[in-house]
Amino acid sequence: MISFKSFVESIHDAIMSASNTLMDKNVGLIDKYFEETTNDSVSESGAAIQSKSLVPKTIVLEYPTLEADGKVKVTEVHVPLITMVPLSMSHIEKATLTADFEMNIVDGELQLDFVNRSNEGGFMKKSSKSTRGTLEIVISPQESSEGLKLIVEGYEAILKRQIS
């Protein structure tokens, strides 16, 4: 038997752990599509300042354009990788946990006893004063962040200006 409180805490911890793992994977997109650079500058007082920033990883593509005179000219287009692939954020589509258990009050605390149905029935049927219950937990997906959508849309707009 396990206390209901411990069961709920365990489920909560498992959900939080899964959520944190997915967040870490989503944050990993930054490392995949951006790289860190160091910028040197001088403050107003003349002191040297080093700062770090992220710039998109890019590739250069030769892109054909049609000029006014009908000739095809090949130009170089700097394409941020983040605009070339569909971004699929990891999320939990739906997870349902259904548990079959018996509930008992032991020493004033609600206890759960997870029953093995294959042992039930026949001559060995339990006769207890416990209550049966089923618990269903549904985890729903969340939308990806507006910030990421805006950043990708911004890079896509820059890409469109290069090829228009």
State pLDDT tens for residues 25-54.
Answer: 878 888 899 999 999 999 888 899 999 999
State pLDDT tens for residues 111-136.
Answer: 888 776 555 555 445 545 555 656 56
Q: 123 versus 105: which is more confidently predicted?
A: 105
What is the pLDDT at residue 98?
72
What is the pLDDT at residue 124?
45
**The whole model's pTM is what?**
0.55
Phi then psi dihedrals of residue 42, to 5 deg: -120, 135
Q: For 18-46, give the DSSP string.
A: HHHHHHHHHHHHHHHHEEEEEEEEE-TTS
What is the pLDDT at residue 105?
87
- What is the helix (H) or strand (E) element at residue 113, kind and residue range? strand 109-114
pLDDT reading at 13 higher than 70:
yes
